[in-house]
Amino acid sequence: MPSLPGARLTVRPGRPLTGTFIPPGDKSITHRAYLLGMLARGGTVVENPNPGGDCQATLACIRSLGARVGRRAGAVTIEGCDMQPREPDRVLDCGNSGTTLRLLAGPLAAQPFLSVLTGDASLRRRPVARVIEPLRRMGAQLWARHGDRLPPLAIRGATLRPIEYSLPVASAQVASCVLLAGLFAAGRTVVRLPGPARDHTERMLPVFGVPIVASTGPPAPADGGGPMIAVEGPARPTGARLRVPGDFSAAAFFLAAAATTPGATVTAREVNLNPSRCGLLGVLERMGASVQRSQLREEGGEPVGDVTVTGPLQLAGCDIAPAEVPTMIDEVPAWVVAATGARGTSRIRGAGELRVKESDRLALLAANLARLGIGVEETADGIAVTGGRRGGSGRRPSDRHGVRGPGGRGRRAGDGDRRRRHPDLLPGVRRDPGGAGRGCRRRRHGSRPMSFVVTIDGPAGAGKSTTARAVASRLGFLYVDTGALYRALALKVRNGGVVPDDLAAVERCARETQVALSGSPEHAHVWLDGAEVSEAIRTPEVSELASRLAAQPPVRRRLVEIQRALSRRGPLVAEGRDLGTVVFPDAEVKIYLDADLDTRARRRALELEKRGIAIALDQVREELARRDDRDRGRADSPLQVPAGARVLNTSALSIEQQVDEVLRVVQEHPACPVRVAGGPSGGAAEGPVAGSSPG
């Protein structure tokens, strides 16, 4: 809502955030739906569009180009121009929306008329040279002021020719501009990016009936390219009906606020979970917050679901590498909110793009943090934030595009009053009338998550995973499959062409890898750099490579950091090979499961068969024997019985017997926070963390 002159907002300490909300429709997806709806043949219905000013600017522009636009409850209807927009009778005003200007330039470059794109004073300071260069190569004529660098942008269209274009920076807007222009060119238009970028256009084109060719992965040595997208023209989109998922950027501040507040639990429903957009979630997990994804599905080519974030006692500072920045570029201000409450110094590099947004966001973030007495250091392409207790401030923070967050949204219970002008926090965000915290609150002892660690070590095939999942589920503890972490790294090493014996390359890969666990013990999900890989990591090839990598000290050090961070979420059951000896040497309960080689081989072969992987029993036995030798003989963190561990031979035990025995041992410990009603054989957990949502 518009701010009232002189209005003030006072923020005082309160209870930890708890609740459920539905963010407004995704802005980036709404822009693209409107533009493709204009170009399409027939009618398009866009449900749950973003209501903000930027998308309204796009809607006004497509009206000026001949699209018929209507509105009905919760939706916008568009009757398209069938690839023949009309010549506008006025300058096209893009308002403050750089996305509108850059994406619209693509289709206009193919039209037989002159068009001029401009916007407000802020937009007229944003660069356009990146779109001028490829469109000129395709045959259009374009001019801009200040040496063809700044808007207004004038375009005289022409018959376009297809090109292969390698972007100097990984810009989704420039890539989309070229792809939309490629719809009009006769032949294949190819766009190559030097790194990851938002892929909403590539996902949406097939929804409108336009096939694409896309590949992802590391740069190809031959041409230095990275991810590639190609479209064959001329193409003719057809009208479509699609629902826009919730905007992750709009949800980010609430999720970050929950992460930085002990005892807070916030759920964002129906939110876009595109891996190219939600890198912040992996970072919050790395800092120690619990992040649970649920109700996962696909709508209109986009992954959608619910996200619940629970704050630990205190976050840990972390560094964000340049490779991670594209997946969270608009969420950096929200990450700063979390960093202010984290222990130690958090740093981000490779975020220089924020200096050429609507404002210099890095400079404004640094200035606002300094006003609040928070330790901050600004660099050319990033920022370093030293967390700690934050004081109040009566000053007015800068107010461009969410950078007010550290001035108000990063509040923690117990801080001093903070007064701010401009009470408009996040227009369009609505509370979920059926949620209001129901079903997502984690029960705690007092206001802190209790630390109680159960480790289950042992060789492959001894029943660790099945037993640990069942025990965690019965007790309501977090379940940590440490083997999945190593397998995820192995999958990245294999797919990335990294030589496993190149220690420097593997160490570099490990440092740049983000692995996260989510879901319940029965339905655990493994995420690698934002993409789910739960099934892909369960092949014999990946398991074998994971065992090789686990013998490398740098790999183990990196993954031990991740594992220890998980213990800050609350009670957990973790299974692996060095948990009781190295990762959690002070664990309250240590279990070592073992079984003879033949029994373990039969179990592993049956497990693989259930997943559709046929493999001879003798081969499984040989692989397990090799793995045993490697795990027990490695110099760093060898497989061995931890000091004080309870050893359980499972060769003649059923899974139910294994679970009952482990539950009995756990509940014998005087500090165990949970008792299972009716004894180990069944019943629900009773205690302060029963029913908790595993991260």
Segment 61-75, tens digit of pLDDT: 999 999 999 998 889
Q: How many CA atoms lie within 13 A of 135 on its CB side?
A: 35
Amino acid at 674: V
**Residue 422 pLDDT greater than 50, yes or no:** no
Rounded CA Rg of the chain:
27
Average pLDDT of span 567-575: 80
Determine the pLDDT at residue 521. Answer: 66
Please identify every residue annotated as catalytic. 330
Between 305 and 438, the higher pLDDT residue: 305
Mean pLDDT check: name the lowest of 85-89, 133-137, 544-548, 590-594: 544-548
Q: Could you report the per-residue pLDDT of 225-277, keeping only the tens digit for each?
A: 468 999 999 999 999 999 999 999 999 999 999 998 888 899 999 999 998 88
Instruction: Examine the pLDDT at 692 and tell me if it is beyond 60.
Output: no
Query: 484 to each of 224, 461, 528, how far by Cα in Å?
Result: 32, 14, 10
Which of the four pLDDT bands, split at 50, 70 and 90, describes residue 565?
confident
Average pLDDT, the chain: 82
Specify the pLDDT at position 226.
62
Show the 3-state SS of 158-206.
CCCCCCEEECCCCCHHHHHHHHHHHCCCCEEEEEECCCCCCCHHHHHHH
Phi, psi of 557, rounded to the nearest 5 degrees: -60, -45
Does residue 491 register a pLDDT over 50? Answer: yes
Higher-pLDDT residue of 313 and 87 is: 87
Q: Has residue 219 got a pLDDT over 50?
A: no
| Cis preceding linkage at 322, omega within 30 | no
Res. 20: pLDDT tops 70: yes
pLDDT band at 539 (very low <50, low <70, confident <90, very high): confident
Q: Is the pLDDT of residue 441 over 60?
A: no
332-336, 454-458, 472-476, 609-613: the lowest-pLDDT one: 609-613
Tell me, what's the pLDDT at 204? 95
Q: List pLDDT tens digits, range 390-412.
A: 444 444 444 444 344 433 433 34
Q: Please state, for a pLDDT cut of 70, what percent of the chain lies above it.
A: 82
Q: How confident is the model at residue 136 (pLDDT cuts 50, 70, 90)?
A: very high
Q: Higher confidence at residue 15 or residue 90?
A: 90
In whole angstroms, give the CA distance from residue 689 to residue 163. 58
For residue 70, report the phi and psi dihedrals to the nearest 5 degrees: -130, 165
The lowest-confidence range among 210-219, 232-241, 497-506 is: 210-219
> What was the pLDDT predicted at 553?
83
Cα–Cα dist 394/598, whole Å: 70
Nearest to 438 by CA among 253, 293, 677, 269: 269
User: Residue 291 pLDDT > 50, yes or no?
Assistant: yes
Tokens 């989109």 sit on residue: 237
**Is pTM, for the whole model, over 0.85?**
no
Signed CA dihedral, 689, 691, 692, 695: sign only: positive
Give me the pLDDT at residue 456, please.
94
The pLDDT, as a whole number, for residue 8 is 64
Per-residue pLDDT at 1: 43
**Range from 126-135, 385-394, 682-691 that averages highest in pLDDT:** 126-135
Domains in the chain, please, with CATH?
Answer: 8-24+247-431 (3.65.10.10), 27-243 (3.65.10.10), 453-686 (3.40.50.300)
| Region of 344 on the Ramachandran plot (φ > 0 left; ψ -120 to 50 alpha; else beta) | left
pLDDT at 357: 67
- The share of the chain scoring above pLDDT 90, in percent, equals 43
- For residue 416, is pLDDT > 90? no
Give the pLDDT confidence score for residue 411 in this predicted structure. 38
Nearest CA to 647 among 583, 580, 551, 695? 580
- pLDDT attached to residue 389: 53
Mean pLDDT along residues 421-441: 32
